[in-house]
Amino acid sequence: MKQLLITDVSPRDGLQNQALHFSTQDKRWLVEALSDCGIPRIEATSFVSPTAVPQMADAADLLAAVTGPAKDKLCVLVPNSKGLRRAQDAGANEICVVLSATETMNERNIRMSLAQAVSTCIEVLAEAQAAGLRTRAYVAVAFACPFEGQTSPDRAIQLAKQMADAGADEVVIADTIGAAHPSQVSNLMRPLINTLGADRLGIHLHDTRGLGLANAWAAIQAGVKRFDSSAAGLGGCPFAPGAAGNLATEDLAWLAHESGYETGIDLPALLQVVEGLSLRLKKPLGGRSYTWLKQYFSKAVVDQNHAMSGNPK
């Protein structure tokens, strides 16, 4: 069976710009519930300035609160060496750095030039590796930037190679504002797969223009095996105007399962997580397939019960 590895980013990317405060205990529920669904890796939080991203102010408290199998599945985002030290002190085992592919996005997001951002990411990756931590490096706005328009594929490839050369265990190509279309995904990911290998390359997709699943399929066809997604489609970069929600994990998992790929994800259990998120955030949530999937699995349970009892439908 062919396999995809899905990292659910809803606790970090999904919650970071929510208007309604999500408590540490609710975040713990989310992380542990995602783990119980079979999600193999979870991006739990970020050690950024609490002034810039108030929803992530409890990063250390969350890592301390999570117990059980979920604890070994967590990765956290760090913006610099200070954030890395905070993450280490909190017991993080895996960290992520984010490098935007354009000058303006770096300036607006972290107040650095592109060259300074590259240098900072390389420095943090080296420090994390020296500490024995696993590492991921995002190349953000890899397809298009909200300030500069289309991103040069050559630049995205160059930056991805720099992060790989710096020792990142995984390089993640991010469609931060959901502006990519399938041919762009294919044209960028195929040469990167050939250079970095499928075991070291991932993709992070948004569904802003309704092409999230189409782009995911293009990535799968290009040989990508590692994907970011977010339960209920929560998320969107708070520093990127128009960056609507991430590709929903339930949509991606259903696409994978129907196309002959294993993810290890229990879809009915994941739908319960989506329902729990809706209740806690006080608004209806869910990916494009959510309503249909609820009906599908409800009918499957009814049919199974009838079959076991020997009663006709």
Q: What percent of the chain has pLDDT over 90?
A: 87
- Known catalytic residue: 121? no
Q: Is the dihedral of CA 36, 37, 40, 42 positive or negative?
A: negative
> If you average pLDDT over residues 287-306, what whole number do you get?
77
Q: Which of 37, 121, 145, 237 is catalytic?
A: 237
Q: Which residues of 232-264 are buried (b: 16+ CB within 10 A; e: fewer)?
A: bbbbbbebbeebbbbbbbbbbbbbbeeeebebe
User: 249: domain range?
Assistant: 2-309
Which pLDDT value is given to residue 235?
Answer: 83
Which pLDDT value is given to residue 306?
Answer: 40
> If you average pLDDT over residues 5-28, what whole number do you get?
95
Q: How confident is the model at residue 248 (pLDDT cuts 50, 70, 90)?
A: very high
pTM: 0.93
Which pLDDT value is given to residue 27?
Answer: 98
CATH code of residue 245: 3.20.20.70
> If you average pLDDT over residues 29-35, what whole number do you get?
98
Residue with tokens 């953000």: 140
Which pLDDT value is given to residue 303?
Answer: 54
Count Cβ atoms within 10 A of the Cβ of residue 7 and give its class: 0-12 exposed, 13-18 middle, 19 or more buried.
Answer: buried
State the chain's mean pLDDT as an integer: 93
Q: What percent of the chain has pLDDT over 70?
A: 93
> If you average pLDDT over residues 179-208, what whole number do you get?
96
> If you average pLDDT over residues 78-87, what whole number do you get?
97
- Tokens standing for residue 77: 């985002």
Q: How confident is the model at residue 313 (pLDDT cuts 50, 70, 90)?
A: very low
* Total domain count, the chain: 1
Q: Is the dihedral of CA 283, 285, 291, 294 positive or negative?
A: negative
